[in-house]
Structure 1
Amino acid sequence: MTDASEQPPDGGGRRRGRRSRARADFDRARADFDQANERIKQRTGRDLIGAILIGLVIGAAVLLSLLIWKPVFILFVLAAAGTGIFEIGRALQAGGRRIDLIPQLIGMLAMVASAWFLPLWQHWVVVCGAVVLIVLWRVVAGVVERTRGGGAPWQDVLAGVLVQLYVPFTASLAIILLRQESGELWVLAFIILAIVADTAAYATGLTLGKHPMAPRVSPKKTWEGFGGAVVGAVVAGILLSAFMLGLPWASGIIFGLVILFTATIGDLGESMIKRDLGIKDMSSWLPGHGGVLDRLDSILPSAGAALALYYLLTPLVTR
C-alpha cells in the first residue's frame, strides 16, 4: 500500500498552486509597472496612469461630440473655455493681477455664440466689443475700488485682454471652423495632429532627450523631443489629409508643420506664463495633466491656423 505522503497532489492542490503562481506573477508585473511609472513621474512630474485614463475620457467625449452631432461640441468648448478662464484668472490673481471673471464669461458666451450664428465680419465686431467690455469693466472697477495694491492699473487691463484673447477668442475660431462644410473633420484632424505632436515629443524626449530646447522657459523640453514631434506631425498630417480630409498627401506636410509650429508656440507660451507666475500647473483638476488649460495650451493657438489652412487647402480637395 502506498504511503499517503507519497501520493501525487489532487486537482485542487494543483489549481491552488497555479493561482498562487499567477498571483505572484501579477504582483511582480504590477510592482515593475509602478516602479517604471514612478521613474517617469519623477522625471516629468506626471502620473502616467492618470494621464492616460483622463486623456482617453476626454478624447472619447470630443470624438462623440464631433461625429454624432457637431453642435454638441459647442457645449464642450463652453465648458473647456469657461474652466480655462477660471484657471488662468485665478493664477493671475494669485500673481497680483485683478481679473474680472464676470465680463470674461460674458465675452466668452458672446464670442462662441457669434462664431456659430453670425457671419465672420460680425463675429469680429463681437470680439472687439468683448475686449472693450473687459477694458471698461476694469477701469470702472478701479475707480470704484479707489485703491491699488501693487503694479499699475494698465497691467490689470492688459492681463484681462490677454485672458479674453488667449482662451475664448481662440476657442471661437474652432467654432467657426466647425460650422464649415466637413468642419467637424477639420476640427478633429487638427486636434489629433496637436495631440500626436505632443505625444511624440513626450515619448522621444523621455527616451532620447539630452539637449534642452528652451531651458529658461520649459527645462524639460528638448531638441530631441522636438525632432520626434516633427516626424510625428508630418506623418499624422499626411495620413489625416489623405484619408480623412480628402486632400493630396503632400498638403499634409504643410498641415502637419503649421499645426506643429502653433502647438509648440502655444505650449512654450503657456510655460512662460506659468514660469513668470511661479507655478507648475494652472490647476490640479485633471490627474496626470494638471489643469484644463495645460491640455489646451497647444490646441487653442492651433485653431486659428487650422481655420486658415481650411480656406487655403479646401480648393485642393479631391473628393
Structure 2
Amino acid sequence: MNRLSTAVLLLAVFIPALFFAPAVLWALLIALVAGAAAFEWARISAFPLFLPLMYAIGMGVLAVIIYLMPQQAGAMLVLYAMAAVFWGLVAPLWLAGRWHGTGFFVRALVGTLVILPAWAAIVALREHSPLLLLGVMALVWIADSAAYFAGRRFGRHKLAPGISPGKSWEGVAGAALALALYASAISAAIHGLRVPGALLLAAALLYFSILGDLFESWMKRVAGVKDSGTLLPGHGGVLDRIDALCAALPIAAGILYFAHWI
C-alpha cells in the first residue's frame, strides 16, 4: 500500500467517525490511537521486553478511566495544564540540551504528557463541535504542508539542523503566512473569536506544532530510527502523523476553553 492509498483509507475512516460516531465510540477509537502511539513511544524509548505493550494498554485504559470519571471535564483541564507546562517549559529545555530525561520512569511520564492530553483535546473539541475539531486539526495540517513547500522552494536557513535538517526558517514563514490567511477566514465560525484573536491562536498553535514535530524528531534521532513505526505504509507510524497535533491540540483546547470561545 502506498502513501496515497494509506491517506485515502485513513480519511475514509476518520471523516465518518468524526461526524457520525457516538461520543463513547469516538472516545474509544481515539483511545486505541493513543494506545498505538504509546506503543511506538515505548519502542523508540527502548522500553525492555514486554513493557511497550503494557504501556500501550495502560495508556488506553487510563484514557477510558478519565472519560468515565464524573469529573471528566475537570480532569481534562488538568491534562491541558500539564501539557502547557510540558510543551511551554520542559520540551524547549529538552531540545536545547539543558535537560534530558533518559530513565524509564521519566520517559514513561513524558510519553503520557505527550499523548494523553492530546486524546483529551480530541474528545473534548469533537464533543463541542466536529467542525471545530476538524478546523483546529486542519490548521496544523496546513502549517505542516505550507512549511514543507515553502521550505523546499525557498529554504536556506536551517531551523534546527541538529534535530531535523529539513526544516528551515523560510518554511516557518510560509506556514505563518498560510495560517494567517486560514485563521482570518475561519474566525467568524467560532463564537466570540475575532480576527486578532484568531491570528494569536494560529501563532500559538504554529509554535507548538513545530515544537511537537521537533520533539518527536529528536526522539527518533536519539533512537536511531527514521520512523516511529510501520503501522501506516508510506507514512511511518502513528506518532509520525500526530506529533504536531500532540503539542498543538491540548494548547488549542485550553485556550479556547479559558477564553470562553467554546
TM-score between the two structures when normalised by the length of structure 1: 0.66
2:180 is the alignment partner of 1:234: yes
Structure 1 residue 196: deviation in Å?
0.5
Cα contact 1:237–1:256 (8 A) shared by 2: yes
Larger relative contact order (Cα-Cα within 8 Å, sequence gap ≥ 6): 2
For 1:231, what is the secondary structure of its paired residue?
A: helix
Cα contact 2:158–2:165 (8 A) shared by 1: yes
Give 1:79's aligned residue: 32
Distance 1:121 1:309, change over 3 A: closer
Aligned residue among 131, 155, 165 for 1:219: 165
2:36 is the alignment partner of 1:91: no
Alignment of 1:297-308 (within 5 A): 297-308=243-254
The unaligned stretches of length 5 or more in structure 1 are 1-48, 128-153
Structure 1 residue 122: deviation in Å?
4.7
The unaligned stretches of length 5 or more in structure 2 are 81-101
Aligned residue among 206, 210, 226 for 1:260: 206
User: Distance in 1 between the 2:8 and 2:182 partners?
Assistant: 19
For 1:93, what is the secondary structure of its paired residue?
A: coil
For 1:219, the aligned partner's letter is P
2:117 is the alignment partner of 1:164: no
Distance 1:91 1:235, change over 3 A: same
For 1:76, the aligned partner's letter is L
Give 2:92's aligned residue: none
Give 2:190's aligned residue: 245
User: Which of structure 1's runs of 4+ aligned residues deviate more than 6 A?
Assistant: 124-127
User: Distance in 2 between the 1:297 and 1:178 partners?
Assistant: 19
User: Distance in 1 between the 2:233 and 2:202 partners?
Assistant: 29
Cα contact 1:170–1:300 (8 A) shared by 2: yes
Structure 1 residue 97: deviation in Å?
9.3
TM-score between the two structures when normalised by the length of structure 2: 0.79
Aligned residue among 289, 299, 302 for 2:235: 289
Higher mean C-alpha displacement, 76-85 vs 246-255: 246-255
Cα contact 1:99–1:159 (8 A) shared by 2: no
For 2:103, what is the secondary structure of its paired residue?
A: helix
Taking only aligned residues, the RMSD between alpha carbons, in angstroms, comes to 2.9
Distance 1:118 1:52, change over 3 A: farther
Distance 1:266 1:107, change over 3 A: same
Distance 1:241 1:53, change over 3 A: farther
Structure 1 residue 267: deviation in Å?
0.2
Structure 1 residue 201: deviation in Å?
0.6
For 2:41, the aligned partner's letter is I
Q: Deviations over 1:113-172 (max 9, x none)?
A: 424653233557899xxxxxxxxxxxxxxxxxxxxxxxxxx8111122122222233322
User: Distance in 1 between the 2:63 and 2:5 partners?
Assistant: 31
Cα contact 2:43–2:52 (8 A) shared by 1: no
Distance 1:312 1:172, change over 3 A: closer
For 1:221, what is the secondary structure of its paired residue?
A: strand
Instruction: Pick the structure with greater CA Rg.
Output: 1
Distance 1:185 1:205, change over 3 A: same
Distance 1:248 1:97, change over 3 A: farther
Distance 1:109 1:234, change over 3 A: farther
- What percent identity do the matched residue pairs reach? 26
Between the two proteins, the alignment pairs up a number of residues equal to 239
Alignment of 1:1-319 (within 5 A): 50-69=2-21, 71=23, 72-93=25-46, 99=51, 101-115=53-67, 117-119=69-71, 120-122=73-75, 155-179=103-127, 181-182=128-129, 184-242=130-188, 244-246=189-191, 247-315=193-261
Cα contact 1:97–1:156 (8 A) shared by 2: no
Cα contact 1:286–1:292 (8 A) shared by 2: yes
Cα contact 1:234–1:253 (8 A) shared by 2: yes
For 2:175, what is the secondary structure of its paired residue?
A: helix
